[in-house]
Amino acid sequence: MASSWLIRRFVDPEACFIWLADPRDYPTDVLGFDFDGATFSHVDNLVTFEVLLMTFGLSEDPGLAKLAALVHYLDVGGVPVAEAAGFVTMLAGVKQRYSDDDAVLNAAGALLDHLYAAFAQPAPTGGS
């Protein structure tokens, strides 16, 4: 979901997605992502989201870097991210409300937009 959001938000706003039950059924004239043999997938210790960031020159964006840490943790584990449990809970609510994959992506995309906006803010400095 996060990779789909990233593609639409930062790479190709007109991107269309085909949701497959089995990745072996993907059409050969499309760019696949996040499955074995896809154009964009995990590489070494990077998850698809991180590979997309590197491929499209987005790695230096601080908000996207923080999102990448969250996505990495949720996808394969590693360093815990404070927002992970809340994000998972919100996604569960999205999946409860919508059964259509495109509607789920749109609703989850709104959550990711909000996280990105928060993560893009400079870290607060000390003091009160």
Averages of pLDDT over runs of 10 residues in the chain (128 residues) are 94 87 76 71 87 95 97 96 97 96 95 97 70
Contact 41, 51 (CB under 8 A): yes
Instruction: Let me know if residue 125 belongs to a domain.
Output: no
pLDDT at 34: 67
Instruction: Let me know if residue 19 belongs to a domain.
Output: yes
Q: Is the dihedral of CA 24, 28, 32, 38 positive or negative?
A: positive
Scored b (16 or more CB within 10 A) or e, 48-58 reads: bbbbbbeeeeb
Instruction: Let me know if residue 24 belongs to a domain.
Output: yes
In which domain, by residue range, is 82 found? 2-119
Instruction: Let me know if residue 127 belongs to a domain.
Output: no
Question: How many folded domains does the chain comprise?
Answer: 1
Length of the chain as a residue count: 128
pTM of the model: 0.86
Instruction: Let me know if residue 63 belongs to a domain.
Output: yes
Instruction: Let me know if residue 30 belongs to a domain.
Output: yes
Instruction: Let me know if residue 128 belongs to a domain.
Output: no
Instruction: Let me know if residue 43 belongs to a domain.
Output: yes
Dig out the tokens for 64 from the structure.
């996207």
List beta partners, residue 46: 43
